[in-house]
Amino acid sequence: MRSLIDIVDLSTAELDALISVALDIIAHPEKYSDSCKGKKLATLFFEPSTRTRLSFEAAMYELGGNVLSVTGGATSSVAKGESVADTAKTVSCYADIIAMRHPKEGAALVAANNASIPVINAGDGGHCHPTQTLADLLTIYREKGRFDNLTVGFCGDLKFGRTVHSLINALSRYNGIRFVLISPEELKLPSYVKNETLKKFHLPYVQTTDLEGAMPSLDILYMTRVQRERFFNEEDYLRLRDTYILTPNKLRKAKEDLCIMHPLPRVNEISVSIDDDPRACYFKQVLNGKYMRMALILKLLKEAQV
Ligand code: NCD
C-alpha cells in the first residue's frame, strides 16, 4: 500500500506530476468535484494544527468525499493507552485514507506499517512534514516559474523545524540550488539532514547567524517559528525565540522579487507590517497547500485501487 511518510517517498517526476494536477485543479475545479465521491478521509491529529488539518479536510470535501476526524488524543482511545498500530488498524476499517499528525518521530511510519489504507504523514515530531513541502513547492513554482538556479535562505529553528528538513530534501533534486542556513548556533540544521541531502548531493550551502548579511543574495527566504514544544527547557526557548524578526528595515537590501515564505503559524518571526508587501507569500502557501493535498489524495487513492 502506497503511503507518504517522507518526501523521499516521491520521485522528482511524481512531484512534478502532483504540481501539474494541482495547477489543473486550480484552473478547472469543477472537473474534480466528484472525484472522491463515496470515499472517506480520516484526519488523526494528536498535535495542534489549523492549516494542515483543515486543508486536508477542505481538500477532501472539494473532491466530493467525506471526512472522519480525531483531534487531540484526549477524546480518542489513545487517551486510554491505545497504540498507534492499533489505531491505524481500527481506522482502516472505517476510512479509505488517513492523514496523521503525531508528536513522535516515526509515528506515521508505524501507522503505515499497520494500516491497510494509505497513510499521509501530516508531521511527525521534529522529523518531517512532506505535505507542507508540497504546498511550498507549488508556491515556489507559481512565484518563480522554476526550481532551478535559486538561492534559498532558511531562517530560524532549523534543528526542530520539520518543514525545513522536508523542503531541503525536495529542493536538493534541482539544478543550481544554493542554501543559506541562518540560525542561532543551538538551532542549526541536524547533521543527519546535512549528510543525507546536502553532503550526499554535493550541494553548495553556507551556515550563518546573520540574516541581514545573507539577504541580498536570496531568491527565497523561508522563515520559521522556534519550535517551543520540542525544547527540553523553557529558558532556552525564551532566550532563542526572538532571535530573528523580519521587519521592513531588514528587507532594505533584499531582491525586488524575493519570495518570503513561512509555513505558519507565525509568532513573532515576521512583522505584520510585511503582510502587504508583494513579496510576502505565506498566505499563498496556505491556499496552495489545499490544492496539493487534493492532488495527493487523488494520487494515493488511485494507486490504492490497482
Ligand atoms: C508547521 C508544522 O506543524 O511543522 N506548521 C504547519 O503545518 N503549517 C510549522 C510550525 O508549526 O511551526
Judged against a pLDDT cut of 90, whether residue 206 lies above it is answered with: yes
Binned at pLDDT 50, 70 and 90, residue 241 comes out as very high
| 32-85 pLDDT per residue, tens | 999 999 999 999 999 999 999 999 999 999 999 999 999 877 777 877 789 999
Residue 285 Cα: closest atom of ligand 1: 8
CA–centroid distance, residue 258 to ligand 1 (Å) = 22
pLDDT value for 183: 98
pLDDT value for 81: 84
What mean pLDDT is predicted for residues 11-15? 97
pLDDT value for 265: 97
CA–centroid distance, residue 285 to ligand 1 (Å) = 12
Residue 289 Cα: closest atom of ligand 1: 8
| 149-199 pLDDT per residue, tens | 999 999 999 999 999 999 999 999 999 999 999 999 999 999 999 999 999
3-state secondary structure the chain: CCCECCHHHCCHHHHHHHHHHHHHHHHCHHHHCCCCCCCEEEEEECCCCCHHHHHHHHHHHHCCCEEEEEECHHHCHHHHCCCHHHHHHHHHCCCCEEEEEECCCCHHHHHHHHCCCCEEEEEECCCECHHHHHHHHHHHHHHHCCCCCCEEEEECCCCCCHHHHHHHHHHCCCCCCEEEEECCHHHCCCHHHHHHHHHCCCCCEEEECCHHHHHHHCCEEEECCCCHHHCCCHHHHHHHCCCCCECHHHHCCCCCCCEEECCCCCCCCECHHHCCCCCECHHHHHHHHHHHHHHHHHHHHHHHHC
CA–centroid distance, residue 264 to ligand 1 (Å) = 6
CA–centroid distance, residue 31 to ligand 1 (Å) = 30
CA–centroid distance, residue 51 to ligand 1 (Å) = 8
One-letter amino acid for residue 245 of the chain? I
pLDDT value for 72: 75
Residue nearest to atom 6 of ligand 1 (CA): 263
pLDDT value for 11: 97
Most informative mutation of 45, 54, 120, 132 for ligand 1 (most atoms within 8 A of CB) = 132
| 99-152 pLDDT per residue, tens | 999 999 999 999 999 999 999 999 999 999 999 999 999 999 999 999 999 999
Pocket of ligand 1 (CB under 6 A): 51-52, 123, 129, 132, 162-163, 225, 263-265
Residue nearest to atom 11 of ligand 1 (CA): 265
CA–centroid distance, residue 266 to ligand 1 (Å) = 9
Domains and CATH numbers, the chain: 7-128+289-304 (3.40.50.1370), 130-285 (3.40.50.1370)
| 20-30 pLDDT per residue, tens | 999 999 999 99
Residue 47 Cα: closest atom of ligand 1: 3
